[in-house]
Chains A and B, each alone.
Chain A
């Protein structure tokens, strides 16, 4: 049996998957996140990371940032399907390599070990705006902000300094310069 991604038709074309950051402005109402996430799972789209919070208290608007991968056709469908949802106001789509857009993720690292290792860890994080949020004799909690792959790398590199716990957000995005996305 050929692989049956769809029970109906096969496409032999292998298209390249691109990483896109989709930003969705929605009414902050009950169930809205379920609608957006359900659309992704229901139609078989990927979610690599997700960040969501209300950004306008008065208008009750939440901003959802989703990192996804897909063929150009799929990414186009994602945007068009999202725009059809009633609580969705606007949808922006950025490519990961887009220079005009800033992408950031935040991570918290808990390091446990002797002082020398704690210091080593902090030093290793130097490039990524480390903030020491908590310090005891045996442990540190370090916050960094960086790109996804940088945090991936740090999560690996810090192991030798006694990394015991990682907590990280999904990516958030914002355009550079004075313009905002309309």
Chain B
């Protein structure tokens, strides 16, 4: 007779078979049997966070930087509700997470027991799928299935809710089944004919553009390689969404920079004026499209996406290719080589006028800002951080707000999986715990959270986690004492009524660092900035870097709300001419 295992043991047996090496969690009454077993499974390391939201974001950081699913373990009730923000964040940005939550014993479910909540009910809209395991015999199968759902197709979070009595009960352990077919839902639904159509469109186009997104990153490092190959083979310009940064080298001449609300002038204008748009793994998000009725009015649109429901959701496209980016790109390259081996040569002539136009937009230098010798301009701080770290293969996380956009604009990424930011949900407080997760996955690498002082305070308690596990993360705070993006919108849209966007009683971040037993560094002038950054980089411990920046700097360029791509505000001067009025106000 084969051995019987308790539910708690089965949880870890499953994790072993799923090659889990780290879990992020926080114990509590309803998961104590699982925590009791932890010591018997040496290959699985537990990272104790300080708040369950931190566990979720850390698991996200871990997943995005490593390509493996992030695993979370939390207790019932508040443990589960605290993780909801992170699950929703992962759902929006398609990050694979497996969350195991404890639940009150089966016989108490529905009685409003202590620390009971309807976890599967609450998390149903923010997970790909979730399960309440009511029978010990279903447990192993369910957990294996959870890993499969989280990691296949368009990735996302899943949750398995395990009542405490199930954790104690015993049964045989079932290994994961090797399945080729994924619940009958295969992910590639294109054929050679569609690829041929794509190549035909490409060879006819004189004003093409690639518009790439997080799907390229999610498809794995190979997809980024293929993307580079395709972009070089075609000579087309390429722009990327916030989530796609790094899939194509940020310092390459064919790269137009990020597009969208705070994207570059050249990227947005090229999107507006192109005659062929090839969307690879992006989803026509509203921060990208601007006014949808006037979005890229004269282009043929091709959409490559693994999720059929992304096609024609926001923007109607002319050619849809449903499949994994990697597979689609490899088929496209193969056909291109076979049919149009001299594509680049024949195409150069055709797109030369287009490139001239793009150079003209480029010469506007939309990311420029007015420098200062007295105060540190936030853009300058990012530029210096980039220059001093670009040779280090660093991993960057961010919080949400102006600093996030400046980081996206001024920090150049050359590799996938190096940029972790909350895009879809826009979760302030994401970056610090995400950095913890990234550092866990890459102990020897440089991990920096480019933060704002308001965002970072939302999850600052995770510094304690970083210190406990000797994770030398660097929290680089652009401190302007305002919720900068809120302040910017209030300036532009609400007649400078800075309602509640100033934080009057900020902590002293250097002393705060010391209180957490890590290192605090402060930079006040542009002159001392480089030295201080170098000091931070030479510190092999967690650092909170308080970079005191210009308090009222705005993030430009910007597509004002309610406007299409070709009507951007460029900077302080241009802004006088283009006031956002009436209807636009309610759009942001």
Q: How many residues of A contact B (CB 8 A)?
A: 26
Least Cβ–Cβ distance between A81 and chain B, in angstroms: 5
Residue from B124, B132, B292 in contact with A38 in the complex, judged by beta carbons closer than 8 Å: B124
What's the Cα separation between A86 and B588 when bound, in Å?
34
Of A7, A13, A42, A80, which is within 8 A of B586 by CB?
A7
Is there contact, CB below 8 Å, between A2 and B586?
Answer: yes
- The answer, yes or no, to whether B309 is at the interface (CB within 8 Å) is yes
Contact check: which of B120, B293, B307, B587 meets A7 at CB < 8 Å?
B587
A35 to B185, CA, bound (A): 18
CA of A13 to CA of B316, assembled, Å: 14
Q: Are A2 and B583 in contact (CB under 8 A)?
A: yes
Q: How many residues of B contact A (CB 8 A)?
A: 29
Q: How far is the CB of B418 from chain A (nearest CB, A)?
A: 29
Q: How far is the CA of A57 from the CA of B184 in the complex (A)?
A: 21
* A4 and B586 contact, CB distance less than 8 A: yes
In whole angstroms, how far apart are the Cα atoms of A10 and B291 in the complex? 8
Alpha-carbon separation in the docked complex, A8 to B134 (Å)? 42
Given contacts A7-B587, A10-B583, A30-B132, contact A76 B312 (CB under 8 A): yes
Residues of B within 8 A of A77 (CB): 309, 312-313
Asked if B183 is at the interface (CB within 8 A of a chain A CB), the reply is yes
B308 & A83 in contact (Cβ 8 Å cutoff): yes
Q: Report A1-56 residues with CB < 8 Å from chain B CB.
A: 1-2, 4, 7-13, 30-31, 34-35, 38, 42
In the complex, which residues 113-170 of chain A have their Cβ closer than 8 Å to any Cβ of chain B?
Answer: none
Q: Complex Cα distance A31/B132, Å? A: 10
Residues of B within 8 A of A31 (CB): 120-121, 124, 132
Q: Top 7 A-B pairs ranked by shortest CB distance? A: A80-B309, A86-B129, A8-B286, A80-B308, A81-B309, A42-B125, A9-B292
Residues in chain A within 8 A of chain B (CB atoms): 1-2, 4, 7-13, 30-31, 34-35, 38, 42, 73, 76-77, 80-81, 83-86, 89
On B, residues with C-beta under 8 Å from A are 120-121, 124-125, 128-129, 132, 134, 149, 183-185, 286, 289, 291-293, 307-309, 311-313, 316, 562, 583, 586-588
Using A30-B132, A84-B128, A84-B309 as known contacts, list a sample of 7 further A-B pairs with CB atoms less than 8 Å apart, ordered by residue number in A: A7-B587, A8-B286, A9-B289, A9-B292, A9-B587, A86-B129, A86-B149
21 contacts between A and B (CB under 8 A): A4-B586, A7-B586, A8-B588, A9-B587, A10-B562, A11-B293, A30-B132, A30-B134, A31-B120, A31-B124, A31-B132, A34-B121, A35-B124, A38-B125, A76-B312, A77-B309, A77-B313, A84-B128, A84-B309, A86-B128, A89-B184
